[in-house]
Amino acid sequence: MAADAHASASGGVPGSLRPPFPPARSGYIVEVTTTPARPDVSPGTPLSLFVLGQGADPRSERGVECPGDLPPASDPALVERARRAKAALGDRLFVLGHHYQRDEVIQFADVTGDSFKLAREAAARPDAEFIVFCGVHFMAESADILTSADQRVILPDLAAGCSMADMARLSQVEDCWDTLTDAGVAGRTVPVTYMNSSADIKAFCGRHGGVVCTSSNAKSVLAWAFERGEKVLFLPDQHLGRNTAVREMGLDLADCVVFDPHRPNGGLTTEELQRATMILWKGHCSVHGRFTTQAVDDVRARVPGVQVLVHPECQHEVVLKADQVGSTEFIIKAVEKAPAGSKWAIGTDLNLVKRLAAAHPEQEIVFLEKHVCYCATMNRIDLPHLVWALENLAQGHVVNQIVVDDDTARYAREALQRMLDLPGETTKD
Ligand code: 13P
Ligand code: SF4
């Protein structure tokens, strides 16, 4: 973990690199801590994700505005500037890009992947001084947790949060655990959190014998959890939890209950909690939650022979109607190994679907919904922010560093490591 947040990066300004904007001041570093709370934000204050840039909330996924002058998006030299800054940084830099990133950004990624692959890639780069994470906040936090103290993880736009991760706050999860304790079931419950959660939720799981999962390994992680407890508290994505438990592990829908953090005792009776095998947190992805069963029916009628391929963050009814279900990496591999003439309707972020369609003109690839459906926060990482971050690094200014405090990182690492240590755990082919 990058513990020394305030040391600046070494290395001078290359002669050829003179950006026309003032270098960012040091000190624009986000320390991700669970305490102290911001005096102006009471715990659990409901703020909209889209009130971005209205101030920092270091306990949340919401992020803050860019602390420097961005190059204008209209600058025709942006691609060249990014190339030069990257070349100037050389081996000191490693750029990770999630599959939902824009084309303009993904072209600069040294590795692209789903959240599981990127976590492994971050951990496997001990020589990179700077890991620039083109993804969202919880991914950059995980990278910081899995890298060493002298490596710095940078998120080009701190407003790149995740609405799903924001649906589970530590105080809410602690209250939930108290409810489970009062119902006499906490001792028999293993908390499992999806990678798409803040570091303090991962740390909660680490402290309580729990584990992290991603969409590519949720089944094996749940199997691990059920070897250790009778019940699972699954955070924060109810759909991934339900889809994995019911579709992949043979549980019944009646074995699942939904814990609503906004209702007393989660809106559940003690008997319901005692009976349930899967206690699903009431959270969801605002992008994948939009795909409907109607869209599946429509595309089947429109495109004879189409195969519907969706991400497991989609609603259960949609997943049941799909032909194949898997993480972003799984989706890519399914298309890559399909023969020419295959027809796909894909239910995941549009940046990825458009890229797949462009890369495979020999196949017919359509977007599952008729409405445009990008992840707004993934899209926050654009070329101006990337250029701004890279040029500052090349000038010796570390900007937008993501630092998880030591105590949170220690327990979050335990939960992450339990996932990474699972036998055969690798991104699905
Ligand atoms: P994966 O990267 O695990 O496929 O998850 C998709 C996603 O929603 C990331 O935020
Ligand atoms: Fe979060 Fe969904 Fe966007 Fe992924 S796609 S970052 S889960 S809002």
Distance of CA 290 to the CA centre of its chain: 18
Residues touching ligand 2 (Cβ under 6 Å) are 136, 162-164, 196, 285-287, 349, 375, 377-378
> What is the Å distance from ligand 1's center to 358 Cα?
21
Taking the C-alpha atoms of residue 207 and residue 50, their distance in angstroms, rounded to an integer, is 32
> What is the Å distance from ligand 1's center to 47 Cα?
23
Pocket test for ligand 1, best of 328, 330, 379, 381 (most atoms within 8 A of CB): 328
366, amino acid identity: V
Q: Which ligand number lies closest to the CA of residue 165?
A: 2
pLDDT of 424 reads 60
Distance of CA 333 to the CA centre of its chain: 20
Q: Are 115 and 215 in contact (CB under 8 A)?
A: yes
Give the DSSP per-residue string, 62-124: -----SSPPPPTT-TTHHHHHHHHHHHHGGGEEEEEETTS-HHHHTT-SEEE-HHHHHHHHHT
Question: How many residues can be counted in the chain?
Answer: 429
Q: Which ligand number lies closest to the CA of residue 333?
A: 1
Tokens of 400: 């937008």
Taking the C-alpha atoms of residue 385 and residue 405, their distance in angstroms, rounded to an integer, is 25
What structural domains does the chain harbor? 30-160+377-406 (3.40.50.10800), 166-286+414-420 (3.40.50), 289-367 (3.40.50.10800)
Q: Are 292 and 249 in contact (CB under 8 A)?
A: no
- pLDDT truncated to tens, each residue of the chain (429 aa)? 333 332 222 222 222 222 222 233 222 333 332 222 322 233 333 333 333 333 444 444 444 556 667 898 889 999 999 999 999 999 999 999 999 999 999 999 999 999 889 988 999 999 999 999 999 999 999 999 999 999 999 999 999 999 999 999 999 999 999 999 999 999 999 999 999 999 999 999 999 999 999 999 999 999 999 999 999 999 999 999 999 999 999 999 999 999 999 999 999 999 999 999 999 999 999 999 999 999 999 999 999 999 999 999 999 999 999 999 999 999 999 999 999 999 999 999 999 999 999 999 999 999 999 887 799 999 999 999 999 999 999 999 999 999 999 999 999 999 999 999 997 654 333
> How many other β-carbons are positioned within 10 Å of the β-carbon of residue 119?
23
Rg (CA), the chain: 21
Three-state DSSP class for residue 415 = helix
Cis check for the bond before 71: say yes or no (omega within 30 of 0).
no
pLDDT of 426 reads 46
Predicted TM-score (pTM) of the model is 0.85
Instruction: Give 265's DSSP letter.
Output: G
Report the atom number in ligand 2 closest to the C-alpha of 288. 2
Region of residue 314 (phi > 0: left; psi between -120 and 50: alpha; otherwise: beta): beta
Q: Whose CA is nearest to atom 2 of ligand 1?
A: 114
> What is the Å distance from ligand 1's center to 328 Cα?
6
Q: Whose CA is nearest to atom 3 of ligand 2?
A: 375
> What is the Å distance from ligand 2's center to 375 Cα?
6
Taking the C-alpha atoms of residue 120 and residue 111, their distance in angstroms, rounded to an integer, is 11
Three-state DSSP class for residue 152 = strand
pLDDT of 70 reads 86
> What is the Å distance from ligand 2's center to 136 Cα?
8
